[in-house]
Structure 1
Amino acid sequence: AVEKFSSDSEGYISSVAAGGKEYECQMVILAAGVKPNVKLAKEARIAVGPTGAIKVDRRMETSVKNVFAAGDCAESIHLVSGKPCWYPLGSTANKQGRVAGANITGGKKIFKGVAGTSIVKVFDITAGRTGLSEREAGEAGYDPAAVTVTTPVKAGYYPGKDSVTLKLIADSGSKKLLGAQAVGDTSVDKVIDTAAAALTGNISIPDLTNIDLAYSPPYSTALGTVIVAASVLEEKLGL
């Protein structure tokens, strides 16, 4: 366990003490994670799901009739695996809250679930994901096939050398897209959002190779990163 942090004369981190030893460093990254706050739910005898968050149906209703839950304390259904999942993101909380609010007032709205789409910026690098990873796909019972491609984010004769690396995962049996992961300088949000839309629409890999994406040399290559990756994956699947 971490015991203490030490700083230099200018106030910058210089070392961290853990396990009886001291380690010199220039940076400390805290990755403690988060847990859903379900204390009130447990006190009210509301069921908690396998993720540790409050179990809800697609109307966001809990195990207690007419009691609803939404946001970082509530589970979702994963659009790919069909299993309960927990992604404490503001985007998910807003959508769940709209459904819960509508149904509390007599509406009949449904929250279909999430694909686990997320994105993070670390200095000048952006990374994002949606759907299942290759490992998660295997654990969910799929036979995953995956490819990784790296492409420029715009025509090669334009200034700048930004690129994006995209990994697409599909099921070898059904040929359906299962997930995507990307990292790069720019355009990561674009390729991940495209993949997320494809997952939500249950689009096949052959359909993804023909998707009509916006193209102009300042913004993309003639075949966008998603189309390139889908084409390579299509060949790997023998389609």
Structure 2
Amino acid sequence: MAVFVALGAFLMTLVGGWTAQRVTDRRHLVLGLAGGLMLGVVGLDLLPEALHAAGDEVFGVPQALLLFVGGFLAAHVLERLLAVRQAGHGSDERVPQVGLTAAAAMVGHSLMDGIAIGAAFQAGGAMGLTVALAVITHDFADGFNTYTITSLYGNERKKALMMLFADAAAPVIGAASTLLFTLPEELLGSYLGFFGGALLYLAAAEILPEAHHDHPARSTLLCTAAGVGFIWVVVGIAG
């Protein structure tokens, strides 16, 4: 089931890459909705499940919350390291290797997305579907950004497409790998906490700011609120 659902992430990544070549003025609404869905999954479903599965405390703080903060910081550090490396080459000089490095980081992140889908299905079908929904929605932006950043730094279209297909295949490979092992409940909760922190960073620091960058419209805010509300309904029905 996890591998089948991960195929949705594969397709959505390709759609994002295709959209990067034919971007329209409605992109801000799509990203606003994606940010809302991700926020809803993290706050209303992913984090509560992580706290339940990994309930032990470390110096008075639940282990899942520590890893949640760790995931947020890890995503922030990775994003900053890439930004510093890009800035070091100067804004007027496009170094193809920088684009390929950033795209490779996106592929690695997508591989972890697939593992998160498989791990969530081990916790339960409802959890798996909600995490998969967040990953699939987020992978539109992944595909869009993977193609864009690869081509932005002067790489030929063939390499941009190669990185796009690698990013699309990564979630499927990650989900398939979880068929070979079963994560203990505590380890699963810890992983979901870490993944939730990284997902929240992507929503708060990348997806939502990008949605409002060129179009600070009320409609974008409504799409974000609608995404959160939709997840609330899904969690309520599943519960």
The question of a shared fold, defined as TM-score above 0.5 by the shorter chain, is answered with no
The answer to which structure has the higher helix fraction is: 2
Which gives a bigger RCO, structure 1 or 2 (Cα 8 Å, sep 6+)?
2
Normalization by structure 1: what TM-score?
A: 0.24
Normalization by structure 2: what TM-score?
A: 0.24
Greater Rg over alpha carbons, structure = 1
The answer to which structure has the higher strand fraction is: 1
